[in-house]
Structure 1
Amino acid sequence: MNILISTDQIYLHGGIEKVMATKVNYWANLPDTKVFIVTTEQRENAPCYVLDYKVKLIDLNINYDRSKSYFSAHNLKKSLSHFRRQKKLFKELEPDVIISPNINFDHYWLPFIKEKSKLIKERHSSRYQEADRRKSASFLKGIKFRLDDWIDSRYDHIVVLNEDEKKYVKSDNAVVIPNPVALTDLRADLSKKQVIAAGRLSPVKGFDDLINAWAEVHAEFPDWQLHFYGQDYLGTQAQLQKQIEVRGLNRSVFFKGNVDNLPETMTHYSIYAMTSETECFPMVLLEALSVGLPVVSYDSPHGPKNILLNEQDSFLIPYKKIDIFAVHLKKLIADERLRRKFGQEAIKNVQRFDLLNVMKKWEIVFH
């Protein structure tokens, strides 16, 4: 079997890239299986996550200008080269399965150049906010949404990450397959006076809410620290840093940048914290649970509640309730025995998403 993943790049740290690496490394070691990752703008960068040597990397060297609209003259011209090169490559490789894990230009033409391949679209972000936008959409926006729905219907399967997201697929080709996690022997210390949060530093991650909650925590536990891991996006880190300074948290909250092995980094912390606006199926929660790290998280639409077991391995907090979040974060900080109890349950509960169990679901879809 030839499996081809069509994406933009694999050199930036992110959930899609991490999940992709986990899956392709598994597939590459199956008998009689070849795996290709085809990118449009890798720009000669090395992959950010380790890939098995059997995974073949091909860059089409399109290099869209992401600072411009998809429909700018500059990018539309590049899309023509993208179409031609991709179609030619598909004929050469003859993939049995094509997987598109994000929205790129080729989302709109893949159903029409796939030939005999099975075509799968993965949705890694929640459509919760889009559902509200659809209700008040203008005439032109409404046409765009109907076009998107029709294109979705031309895929063999739309893979969503949880049952809540399935209702946003307007066609009858939706399949639920959660993200997998590779189980590990790594274990969180849980005695460290440190809390970790991770993800791209963008507004959707709601780190401003976490900083506001931390101000309440810091007043009671000034010897504890909050560390953020992730890459800056559109100057968000500078805005958050100003907020930290205004709240007088300069010696308590720190940005740590990217790391290649987040689970290993998590072992030096006692709690994972999440205050995202939306989450579909965050890998960071799976990784936190896998090392026995207790979690305090908003009940963000729709991912955390499909992963966490409230008051077993975590505290699942009503959405956007900063004061309640702070109370439960302080409760875990104050009680190391409770942290260890949650950590033990986390290691048990995350086995639901073990790599082998999840990849069996993919095998069913392939065949």
Structure 2
Amino acid sequence: MRIVYYTDQIYLHGGLERVLANKLNYFSQNTNFELHVVTFQQGNNPPCYDINDKVKFHDLSIKYDRKKSFLHPKNIKHAPKHYLKLKSKIKQINPDVIVVCNYEYGFYFIPLITKKAIKIKEYHSSGHFNYISRLNNKKFIKKCVYKISDYFESRYDALVLLTKDELKYHNSNNTLVIPNAITHVSSQSADLSNKKAISAGRIAPVKGFEYLIKSWQTVIESCPDWTLEIYGEGEGEYVKELESLIKSLNLEKHVFLKGATQQLDCKMLESSIYVMSSLTECFPMVILEAMSCGLPVVSFDCPNGPRHMIEHNLNGLLVEYLNKNKLSEGLIDLINNIDKREFMSNNAKINVNRYKESVIMPLWLDLFKKNHIRN
């Protein structure tokens, strides 16, 4: 079976890129699939995560300005070239299956380009806010855009969602739920004695790190010997804002922006709590990675995501969405109660087994094979 994964790029660290690399490596090692990755803004950059040499890479070299909307005139002018290059590449590869990983022009192009290949759209973010926008929308043009998107969704053989909560955001009858898989469950566990909490992710406003930093100011009032390390890279302006916030709150000795690391699991094992302050998450892999290391997790109960992975008071704490005071209360609760941390650590290690590759990846194999036989 010849499979194409289509996305924008795989050189920036992120959840989608991590999950894609994991899938490609699994299929490379456990099947005889011929695997291709088609990108349109990879350039000469190497993949940010290690990917098996059996995978073939193709880049269309479309130079969109990613600081602007795809509908901005500076970007729209590239769409015809994008379509023609993508069509030519798909014809050249002649895949049995095309999996669309992100949401831009290619989402609309793929159903127009091929009728032969099995077409699968996988969603890596929550449809919650788009759903709210639809409910509140009064504009005719936006209604038309939503109808067009729904039409193209219906042209896919399958829409793969990460949680059951996401099903209500799609009108098509071709939906199914397959969670992300974790490739490795650590044989070690954090000893939970280090007075350090950790957070990680792309440094962007959607991750809500300003809420976390502000909450940490309250944490150190009662726990002054604890520190917070934030790992990740991202938007330069936002990084400067966070650095300025840390300085203005006099937290330079308590909160540290550490940049990207290839050894996040080691950093987790050196910590005692994982904390997430995201504004939106659908299925954050970093929570599974933290649980794999035996870290209890404190997280905002943001729409649809962490609540599917965290069982409140069992393997972590879910606190009121965007309430920095509740976030600091949850952190202080765990900081002051090592028995509770150890209890949650043990349960986190058990919980993560639900998402092992041996459990999740056969669902993908079944999806490919069923649709291949049907076609």
The normalised TM-score by structure 2 is: 0.94
Deviation at 1:223, TM superposition (A): 1.0
Residues 180-189 or 312-321, more deviating: 180-189
What one-letter code is carried by the residue in structure 1 that aligns with 2:145? Answer: K
Equivalent residue number for residue 318 of structure 1: 320
1:340-351 → structure 2 map (5 Å cutoff):
340-351=342-353
Residues 74-83 or 327-336, more deviating: 74-83
Q: Distance in 2 between matches of 1:113 and 1:30?
A: 30
Equivalent residue number for residue 23 of structure 1: 23
5+ residue gaps, structure 2: 370-375
Q: Distance in 2 between matches of 1:76 and 1:274?
A: 36
Q: Distance in 1 between matches of 2:349 and 2:43?
A: 39
1:273-288 → structure 2 map (5 Å cutoff):
273-288=275-290
Residues 3-12 or 189-198, more deviating: 189-198
Q: Distance in 2 between matches of 1:252 and 1:362?
A: 43
Residues 222-231 or 262-271, more deviating: 262-271
Residues 5-14 or 78-87, more deviating: 78-87
Equivalent residue number for residue 152 of structure 2: 151
Root-mean-square deviation (Å):
1.4
1:4-43 → structure 2 map (5 Å cutoff):
4-43=4-43
1:196 aligned to 2:198? yes
Equivalent residue number for residue 264 of structure 1: 266
Identity of aligned residues (%): 40
Deviations, residues 107-150 of structure 1 (Å, cap 9, x unaligned): 11111212311111111111111112112222211211111111
1:294-333 → structure 2 map (5 Å cutoff):
294-333=296-335
Q: Distance in 1 between matches of 2:209 and 2:304?
A: 18
Equivalent residue number for residue 48 of structure 1: 48
1:1-367 → structure 2 map (5 Å cutoff):
1-137=1-137, 138-182=139-183, 183-233=185-235, 235-367=237-369
5+ residue gaps, structure 1: none
Query: Residues 70 and 104 of structure 2 are in contact (CA less than 8 Å); yes or no, is this contact kept in structure 1?
Result: no
Deviation at 1:261, TM superposition (A): 3.3
What one-letter code is carried by the residue in structure 2 that aligns with 1:330? Answer: I
Q: Helix, strand or coil for the counterpart of 1:109?
A: helix
Residues 17-26 or 101-110, more deviating: 101-110
Residues 331-340 or 146-155, more deviating: 331-340
Q: Distance in 1 between matches of 2:154 and 2:287?
A: 31
Pairs aligned (count): 367
Deviation at 1:234, TM superposition (A): 5.5
Q: Distance in 2 between matches of 1:320 and 1:65?
A: 31
Deviation at 1:49, TM superposition (A): 0.3
What one-letter code is carried by the residue in structure 1 that aligns with 2:52? Answer: D
Q: Helix, strand or coil for the counterpart of 2:172?
A: coil
Deviation at 1:73, TM superposition (A): 4.2
What one-letter code is carried by the residue in structure 2 that aligns with 1:108? Answer: Y
Q: Helix, strand or coil for the counterpart of 2:182?
A: coil
Deviations, residues 22-71 of structure 1 (Å, cap 9, x unaligned): 01100112332111111111110111001011111111222322133323
Q: Distance in 2 between matches of 1:249 and 1:181?
A: 34
Query: Residues 286 and 350 of structure 1 are in contact (CA less than 8 Å); yes or no, is this contact kept in structure 2?
Result: yes
Q: Distance in 2 between matches of 1:315 and 1:72?
A: 41
Deviations, residues 246-268 of structure 1 (Å, cap 9, x unaligned): 22211101101111232232111
TM-aligned CA distance change 1:15 to 1:31, over 3 Å: closer
Residues 65-74 or 11-20, more deviating: 65-74
Query: Residues 37 and 55 of structure 2 are in contact (CA less than 8 Å); yes or no, is this contact kept in structure 1?
Result: yes
The normalised TM-score by structure 1 is: 0.96
Q: Distance in 1 between matches of 2:31 and 2:252?
A: 53
Q: Helix, strand or coil for the counterpart of 2:76?
A: helix
Runs of 4+ in 1 over 4 A off after TM superposition: none
Equivalent residue number for residue 372 of structure 2: none
TM-aligned CA distance change 1:168 to 1:238, over 3 Å: same
